[in-house]
A and B are shown apart, each in its own frame.
Chain A
Amino acid sequence: MRNISWRHFDFWLLGSVAFLTVFGVTMISSAIAGNIELVEANTVLKQIIFAGIGFVVLIITAMIDYRYWGALSSFLYLAMVGALGVLFIFGNALFGSSRWFSLGPILIQPSEFAKIVIILILANFFSQNIDNIKKPMTVLRSLVITFFIIIWIILQPDLSTSIVILVLWFSLLWASGLDIKMLLIAGGASIGVLGIGLPLFLLNYDPENTAGLIKPYQLDRVINFLFPDSNARYGADYNVQQALISIGSGGWFGKGYNSGTQVQLRFLKVRHSDFIFSALSEEFGFVGAIVVIAILAFIIARCLRAARLSSDTYGALIAYGAATLISFQTIVNIGMNLRLLPVTGLTLPFVSYGGSSLITLFIAIGLVESVLLRHKSLEF
């Protein structure tokens, strides 16, 4: 093991993450006020515990040389596919859900960890095959690797996590030097497939068949996003409408902590997780929302900096993958809050409530720090 230099540890990154996490806990505390069930479930305390665990995990991950994960790549892959497969096949019988492992009161969501695992596996694959990246066979192999992870998650069914994994695959492929010609051909092909497939799908779509891959509520969400019914009082569009009212009524500086009427009187739904961005926009206004976006942008930038500083391709792709993960979740979540994207269950990184999601992100940051700690010193 090489000597690691803690001088290279990115305290700015850790500081930003810590700040957002603490802010997230405060915001959750404000958001759940008035919801007796969530207060009684010690939501805030749980998030603090998760953050504590996450911090420890982050430091441990940072200390472990990221390159060990490369050596363990095949094992990680098989373990992940196995866990997801077992959960899918036996989950319902053993835990009552195909999404969670329940260990006593703690629920573990393996698909969250699949995000980290896919970054490690694909980073390893692409760094080994970066010289052949222009060959279609390389791309195809990476897709096959991804497919065996994604298939179980789609079957759960967890569409948003599947999309995150697909995005991670594409993003890492792009960073590894995906041939732009190939991208254009693939893009043209997919447009063709969608042009034929989507009408066929919609024609054969049966809303009564809830066993299908696409649930009626998912299609509803997309339809509601595309054609919102602003008159709906309690319809599917209601939550997004209330989110917009929360954000819009925040003004420049917001209504103040614990004083957002939309949040405190519970007009805003799922305000401690999916719609926490709306909640913070209401209570802290335009300025507060900009600060949160800026800090997230800063975290992403620090991850990309790590990708550039990395001493090898593997480390660079891990840091880049972490940046992709944080960026994509941020974009999808804020886009949904601002009615730019359909409603999905993706959380706002570090701020939203959710243990698995938070720990996953802390691991990602830990990996980035691990890369930074071991980058080639530029000081000769």
Chain B
Amino acid sequence: MSPSTISSQNKITNNRIISFAVVIGIVFLVFIFRLFFYQILNGDTYVALAVENRLREISLAPTRGVIFDRNGIVLARNVASYNVVVTAANLPDDQGAIQNIIRSLAEYIDVPVSRGEIIPENPFVPCVSDHGISQIIEYGEQSAPFRDVKIACNIDQVKAQIIQEKSMDWPGISLEIETVRDYPTGSLTASIIGFLGPISSLEEEYYTDRGFVSNRDKIGYAGLERYYESILSGKPGKRVVEVDVGGRIIRDAVPVISPLPGQNIYTTLDTRLQQAAESILLGEIGGWNAYLGELRITSGVVIAMNPQTGEILAMVSYPTYENNRMARVIPTYYYQQLYADVRNPLLNQAVGAELPAGSVFKLATALGALNEEVVTPEQVITTPPEIQLANKYTPNDPGKSKTYVDWKDEGFGELDFIGGISNSSNVYFYQLGGGDAEELGTGIPGEVPEGLGICRLGTYARALGYGDYLGIELPDEADGIIPDPKWKRIAHGENWSTGDTYITSVGQGFVTATPLQILMSAATIANDGMLMQPTVIRQIEDAEGETVLSFKPEIKWDITVDPVIDVYSDPTSAGGCEAKLTGEKITVDPWVVEKIQEGMRAVVTEGTLEDVFSTFANIGIAAAGKTGTAEYCDTFANEKGLCIPGSWPSHAWTLAYAPYDNPEIAVVAFAYNGGEGASVAGPIVRRTIEAYFELKAIDSRAYLP
């Protein structure tokens, strides 16, 4: 059968077929060019994109170093925190089974079955955002099926154990153990140890370059945690893994680099003494405030150190904060509360508060006056209750007469050098610091022909550790101010006046110092002129227990050996100090230091600390010290209307060291608005020293067989 309806001739023309073939050929050529463009010309780009697709870098968190006190008591450590996580890919296929898991899980954690919706306006933030389990699981399914998504954070250990057991029946749900920082001593050592916080966007690049992960790893925000961040944090490890499109890890693409754990730090602190010092300080402040019936003393500091080595044994800064509250996440309301507090609890005031030094500064004046032979130790000077002095801004300025009073209404009468220190006579030190016959004016016998002057006073103060950073390992450290004419010109736009010199001589006026600087000035005297490097670090060990750094006492300088005293061509202030520098440098004669030690001893035996230390003699150890009552008028006092001329409020200072012959403990105490130094700060110092010797006795008994 031959279909007749079909013509038996091929009427399709060649040109129609060829034109079709040409079109197809052109298109195929375009494809080949396109392939060449992608695979050969731009191959590298796409190879890079393919690598980016399949390789993922995983940073392995290092263990942060532990911080101990000098006896091995833990001050900062890492503890486990438990999170409930979901791995969406491991959930059962059956929706009903998933619902059952969600409902059973909700019974154990504080996350409801369903709440809110994850939308750009209400995004999912692990541990923070408020979403239900269903929403979080849905989020996990959609965005990270093979990764752990946190459902509940920081659940307690008992619940964690239950969920750990139950998770066998709940495929996809598991328990994640995260380490968080824990501070067993909490607020007791918070101002030294500090706390951790998230990596801020400003520092993100720095830390991510070093392998840290910005929303996982935390960095030190304060204290040693911040100062020794790089030592404590260790080095993150790295895994480069091949992942599939779902994010599931297939294999390690390169050998794993293990994280390097952080190093452990042993501080010089003695937690027991720290504890004692804190309770003594709080007890004293609380006692006075209760006695006065008002919240008068608002902050305070105690520092105890070994003056021969520079080791800080205790450092209390009140008020402080509870660093454990910042361990997992910094609570906004708590941080804002601390931040808004005018007493500045976040600041370690022991090293960071710049305060008027008051009479404790007289040690610097005394040192200079003896060494520069302004007075002799035996020279007796008349000290009336007040003196009228001309306050001159230039050498030829006749000056306005101004009254400078002593702290004791009836005056001290005749005082020699030891008497001047032990009684802390202002008039005595006005004359040492600024006195000369001409400047003292009428009515006052010119017993001090040429006073120390601001320039020489400054160099002796600096020799005792004032006016510059001491280099302690705490980030809050401040340098304080030792004023001179140039500083005043810049800071106040005014000439230096003779009156400025008088009040600087007694530690008032522009002088500010940190409690640590004031302690160092006394420690230097106690240590026969050797200024030790103050430190809170005793030892640094790596994770294997090998010592990386071991503490050795370090002398910053010895004022009786190292020429640290600048010699000025003339003691007056006119023209500024720098112009009068001769370039020559001298030392302090050892007998001068001895004389000041004797003066400080007299403070305790017959001077301003006599009453406070009366009971101290019972333990058979000789102490020496100095008190300070630093008048101040800062913003807060002014707001309270306390700045009444002639009767300013005052901070209480006391410093002391013991034993007198071979000092092993030096303590400074400071009470903000504490009033008289001896009666407020004095007992704090005495009791802290007592506590030190008690602990020493306990330790020595403990070592007996």
A304 touches B12 (CB 8 A): no
In the complex, whether A213 has a CB less than 8 A from a CB of chain B is no
B53 touches A252 (CB 8 A): no
Contacts of A265 in B (CB 8 A): 53-54, 242-245, 250
Contacts of B34 in A (CB 8 A): 338, 340
In the complex, whether A56 has a CB less than 8 A from a CB of chain B is no
In the complex, whether A90 has a CB less than 8 A from a CB of chain B is no
Q: Which of A78-86, A137-145, A316-324 contacts B (4 or more CB under 8 A)?
A: A316-324
CA distance A93 to B33 in the complex (A): 48
A128 touches B10 (CB 8 A): no
In the complex, whether A315 has a CB less than 8 A from a CB of chain B is yes
In the complex, whether A250 has a CB less than 8 A from a CB of chain B is yes
CA distance A297 to B38 in the complex (A): 21
Q: Which of B22-30, B206-214, B403-411, B562-570 contacts A (4 or more CB under 8 A)?
A: B22-30
| Minimum CB distance partner of B19 in chain A | A174
The residues in B between 1 and 48 inclusive whose CB is less than 8 angstroms from any CB of A are 1-3, 5-14, 16-17, 20-21, 24-25, 27-28, 30-32, 34-36, 38-40, 42-43, 45-47
In the complex, whether A109 has a CB less than 8 A from a CB of chain B is no
CA distance A67 to B8 in the complex (A): 11
The residues in A between 248 and 280 inclusive whose CB is less than 8 angstroms from any CB of B are 248-252, 261-262, 265-267
With A248-B42, A251-B40, A267-B53 as contacts: A297 and B28 at CB distance below 8 Å: yes
B7 touches A313 (CB 8 A): yes
CA distance A249 to B38 in the complex (A): 8
Chain A interface main SS type: helix
A323 touches B20 (CB 8 A): yes
In the complex, whether B698 has a CB less than 8 A from a CB of chain A is no
In the complex, whether A312 has a CB less than 8 A from a CB of chain B is yes
CA distance A176 to B15 in the complex (A): 11
| Minimum CB distance partner of A323 in chain B | B20
Contacts of A323 in B (CB 8 A): 20
A297 touches B24 (CB 8 A): yes
In the complex, whether A30 has a CB less than 8 A from a CB of chain B is no
In the complex, whether A307 has a CB less than 8 A from a CB of chain B is yes
CA distance A244 to B54 in the complex (A): 15
Contacts of B702 in A (CB 8 A): none
Interface size class of B (residues with CB under 8 A): 35 or more
In the complex, whether A107 has a CB less than 8 A from a CB of chain B is no
In the complex, whether B340 has a CB less than 8 A from a CB of chain A is no
CA distance A196 to B1 in the complex (A): 53
Chain B interface main SS type: helix
In the complex, whether A160 has a CB less than 8 A from a CB of chain B is no
Q: Min CB distance, B637 to chain A, in Å?
A: 59
B6 touches A128 (CB 8 A): yes
Contacts of B53 in A (CB 8 A): 242, 245, 261-262, 265, 267
B11 touches A130 (CB 8 A): yes
With A247-B46, A304-B17 as contacts: A286 and B40 at CB distance below 8 Å: yes
A249 touches B20 (CB 8 A): no
| B2, B20, B31, B242: the one within 8 Å of A175 (CB) | B20
| A128, A242, A249, A308: the one within 8 Å of B47 (CB) | A249
Contacts of A290 in B (CB 8 A): 32, 35
Q: Min CB distance, B634 to chain A, in Å?
A: 55
In the complex, whether B49 has a CB less than 8 A from a CB of chain A is yes
| A128, A252, A262: the one within 8 Å of B50 (CB) | A262
| Minimum CB distance partner of B248 in chain A | A265
A175 touches B16 (CB 8 A): yes
CA distance A129 to B362 in the complex (A): 124
CA distance A327 to B23 in the complex (A): 10
A177 touches B13 (CB 8 A): yes
B8 touches A251 (CB 8 A): no
CA distance A252 to B51 in the complex (A): 17
A175 touches B54 (CB 8 A): no
B46 touches A286 (CB 8 A): no
| Minimum CB distance partner of B27 in chain A | A331
Chain B residues within CB distance 8 Å of chain A: 1-3, 5-14, 16-17, 20-21, 24-25, 27-28, 30-32, 34-36, 38-40, 42-43, 45-47, 49-51, 53-54, 242-246, 250
Question: What are 25 sample pairs from A and B whose C-beta atoms fall under 8 A apart?
Answer: A1-B1, A67-B2, A67-B3, A70-B3, A71-B3, A128-B6, A176-B16, A244-B38, A244-B46, A245-B49, A245-B53, A247-B35, A248-B45, A248-B49, A249-B43, A250-B39, A252-B39, A262-B50, A265-B243, A267-B245, A281-B35, A313-B7, A320-B17, A323-B20, A331-B27
* Closest 9 pairs (CB-CB, A-B): A248-B46, A249-B50, A265-B244, A316-B12, A248-B38, A266-B245, A249-B46, A286-B39, A249-B47
Chain A residues within CB distance 8 Å of chain B: 1-2, 34, 67-68, 70-71, 124, 127-128, 130, 171, 174-177, 242, 244-252, 261-262, 265-267, 281, 285-286, 289-290, 293, 297, 300-301, 304, 307-308, 310-317, 320, 323-324, 327, 331, 334-335, 338, 340
5 A-B pairs besides A128-B5, A245-B49 with CB distance below 8 A are: A68-B3, A127-B11, A177-B11, A249-B49, A261-B242
